[in-house]
A and B are shown apart, each in its own frame.
Chain A
Amino acid sequence: MQFANRTSLNNAAAVSIRRLQAKLVQCGKPFYLLMALAVMALLPLTAMAELPVPSHITPPPGEHEGEHVPQPIEFPHDRHVKDMKINCMYCHTYARRSKVAGIPPTSKCMGCHKVIATDRPRIQKLTEYWEKGESPRWKKVHDVPDYVHFTHEKHIRKFVFDADFPVEDVQQVCGVCHGEVREMTVAEKKKPLNMGFCRRCHEANGGPGDCWKCHK
């Protein structure tokens, strides 16, 4: 899916370049300049690497086209992860401690957004919630059925802490199941997260194969 996204981006870039080309031709500029421009325009796009998979994980194959889940506030993961380089576990703080990764309390958002970007409409909406003493009703995007026992804590321990994987790159580990969240605004389900997906990973990475390890 990421691949398709990139192609469509490339297409969009190509279209805009063609328009530019048409304009420049009208101006009578030489063609090689256009080519150089085109290459320059495309370079950052091709250099945009896919999220690297840590060498100690064999990722299970499987893609999923998740539905867009409307959230009360359109939370931009890309802004926080890619631009601000905030660690996943700064907000999803329970991932390394418990079964669920956890949605941060509004107080955590306000810890920064009392002072940062207070003029933006989304932050103003958040502040409204905060002042009313309410939490935005975030919707769950990655959900496994009730009969599945899954713990984030065990997976993080195995693939990050026990593997001596640098914690600052933890999004690469998270990305095996959650996809490239740094390129999304609100999170979308990009991996199937079904039994086949889990089993393929457990087989490739030496996870348990006993039914009752995961089924409850």
Chain B
Amino acid sequence: MSFKNILENFSKYRRGAEEGGHHEYEHRWGMAIDLNLCIGCNACSTACYAENNLAVVGKDKFEKGQAMHWMRIERYWDDADAGRDFPEQGALFLPMLCQQCGAATCEPVCPVAATYHTPDGLNAQVYNRCIGSRYCNNNCPFRVRYFNFWSYYESSWPEPLNMQLNPDLSVRDKGVMEKCTFCVQRIRTAKDKAQRENRAIVDGEFQTACAQACPTGAIVFGDTMDPNSRVTKLWQEHEVERGPYTSKKPKQNAELRGYRIFEELNVDPSIMYLERVRETEV
């Protein structure tokens, strides 16, 4: 269905969310990340490394920008010029991962359709189809696609660490773009299980590795098409809706903290962030 969709609706596909959607969804996986709860501990990132066979590239390659953390904690300072020293500077943390955009900018630029939209509302990356042109990375406003510049088999998982690799997804080789998949292997397992038991997927039955690892429960994962899921309720509570960007509403209620990053680019991200509120000046 999806690949056919690319072939048949390419012009529509390219124009994105303004056209009013061009996908038939079964699920639309989404997230709500509460920045009030995020303590910047990097547990999500570590869990992602373990779950998704992410290579540890080492310090020198990290400095060259070749790191492959599908999930990273971005750090911002409240007021950089106030002259305050480190602990009182007021750090803000923002877990940044693939936003699984409904009208993703990375998808239409792929010359070989290695990245496409699944009926689950995910931006899929088919590793063995990817030729490494890196157009998608250049077109991604969030910079959450990572390119494999090297093969990391020996350096990242020396024996016997290779035994810890997750068999449910491939170990990517060099020359391939990779990105957060919302732990598609877990989604796949849950779907298979639900199908076997002849039922629909229950909310909270499974979650992504990052949501599972978060000690404060800042990350909520679920199906935004399921009206009873926790994530849908959070979205509704904070009046964030799917679909194209209309205009920035003036904030009526300080309780409404929900926003989607780069919403105005009309990429229809699947992750809602809840703004951090500080009670006092830092």
Contacts and interface: CB of A to CB of B under 8 A. Distances in A.
Contact of A212 (B4, B118, B196): B118
Given A216-B168, A216-B169, A211 B124 contact: yes
B109 interface: no
A39 B231 CA distance: 75
Given A147-B170, A157-B196, A209-B4, A215 B127 contact: yes
Interface in A177-196: none
Interface residues of B, number: 23
Contact of B1 (A153, A210, A215): A210
Contacts of B116: 211
A153 B119 CA distance: 23
A212 B1 contact: no
A154 interface: yes
A147 B184 contact: no
Contacts of B2: 209-211
Interface in B202-234: none
B192 A215 contact: no
Contacts of B4: 209
- How many chain A residues sit at the interface, stated as a range, is 10 to 19
A149 interface: yes
Interface of A: 145-147, 149, 151, 153-154, 157, 208-212, 215-216
A149 B184 CA distance: 12
B126 A215 contact: yes
B122 A212 contact: yes
Given A209-B4, A216-B168, A149 B188 contact: yes
Contacts of A212: 118, 122, 124, 126, 184
Given A211-B124, A212-B122, A216-B168, 5 more contacts: A146-B170, A157-B196, A208-B1, A211-B118, A211-B129
B185 interface: yes
Contacts of B126: 211-212, 215
A149 B124 CA distance: 15
A34 to B, nearest CB: 60
Could you say which of A147, A157, A209 has the most chain B C-beta atoms within 10 Å of its C-beta?
A: A147
B209 to A, nearest CB: 15
B91 interface: no
14 contacts: A209-B3, A210-B2, A210-B118, A210-B119, A211-B3, A211-B124, A211-B126, A212-B122, A215-B126, A215-B127, A215-B128, A216-B168, A216-B170, A216-B188
